Amino acid sequence: MTVRTTAPPELAVTDVTVRFAGLTALDAVSFTVAPGSVHALIGPNGAGKSTCFNVLSGLCRPAAGTVRLGDADLTRLAPHRIAALGVARTFQNIVTTQGTVADNLMLGRHALSRAGFAASALRLPHVRREQRVHLARARAIAELTGLGHHFDNPVALLSYGDRKRVEFARALCLEPSVLLLDEPVAGMNAAERARTVEVVHAVRAELGLSVVLVEHDMGLVMRLADEVTVLDFGRAIAHGTPDEVRGDPEVLRAYLGTGADQEDAA
């Protein structure tokens, strides 16, 4: 497995505002994802977490504000350009069912392939060499994400948790410097959740990338995140370590004013 030798660039979100008709879904939201860190976005339903992910991945264009990855301005770029600049994402509700694990991971490598359509169709020697390199890398990513023994298996035969991790591994196959994980454990049982936490730790340690996480499972957020940004009605109401935001009065108020059930309330 290749280990990143340079830190990924900082991801800086500055004063991002998104409006849908009369509704301000994000209101001058700013936060910074430190290189190599896990940064969680949390908040009650409708707080603007998905909208924020959609801005980061180019699916939603902000009315104002900027998103920068190091020196690159990602604001308003098309999704494929943002992916090419090193920001990959998983989707909350997409669970792959077609092809083998290898097929899905090779789709993730496609954007990195230099071979043109004609050369690929003719299976020229340099194309076959390139394919072998991509396949070896896809296999290494499958090992890292706990899917190595399933590499040649049809995805449809895997458990739900493994299928969700195929989506995760496919995003890693883009060799991102920032990975956007949208509810990576939604719908998983306790064992699958624990496994996913281990995999995120392993990926981060091995690949050194930054992770931005939207997740309702507060236990997982507390175990994984270095920093947390709390959104409420489109505003960033708190930033800090998991312990800092857990004790923040405004955060407790946002979560129905109790705070007692924080582990479940988000």
Ligand X SMILES: Nc1ncnc2c1ncn2[C@@H]1O[C@H](COP(=O)(O)OP(=O)(O)OP(=O)(O)O)[C@@H](O)[C@H]1O
Q: Give the footprint of ligand X on this chain (CB under 6 A).
A: 20, 23, 25, 43, 45-51
Within 208-260, residue ranges assigned H as helices are 218-224, 242-246, 249-254
Measured from the CB of residue 52, what is the shortest distance to ligand X in angstroms?
Answer: 7
Cβ-based nearer residue to ligand X, 167 or 183: 183
Cβ-based nearer residue to ligand X, 130 or 217: 217
Measured from the CB of residue 42, what is the shortest distance to ligand X in angstroms?
Answer: 9
Measured from the CB of residue 45, what is the shortest distance to ligand X in angstroms?
Answer: 4
Cβ-based nearer residue to ligand X, 152 or 263: 263
| Among the listed residues 162, 175, 165, the one whose alpha carbon sits nearest the alpha carbon of residue 133 | 175
Helix/strand/coil (H/E/C) assignment for every residue in 32-65: EECCCCEEEEECCCCCCHHHHHHHHCCCCCCCEE
Cβ-based nearer residue to ligand X, 47 or 69: 47
Measured from the CB of residue 103, what is the shortest distance to ligand X in angstroms?
Answer: 30
Measured from the CB of residue 231, what is the shortest distance to ligand X in angstroms?
Answer: 6
Cβ-based nearer residue to ligand X, 223 or 235: 235
Instruction: Give 255's DSSP letter.
Output: T
| Among the listed residues 213, 199, 207, 209, the one whose alpha carbon sits nearest the alpha carbon of residue 137 | 207
Which amino acid type is present at position 74? L
| Among the listed residues 90, 8, 23, 96, the one whose alpha carbon sits nearest the alpha carbon of residue 50 | 90
Dihedral angle over CA of 185, 191, 195, 198, nearest 10: 100
Cα 192 to Cα 157, 195, 220: the distances in Å are 16, 5, 12
Pairing of strands 11-20, 210-214: unpaired
Measured from the CB of residue 192, what is the shortest distance to ligand X in angstroms?
Answer: 20
Cβ-based nearer residue to ligand X, 173 or 236: 236
In angstroms, the CA 244 to CA 31 distance is 16
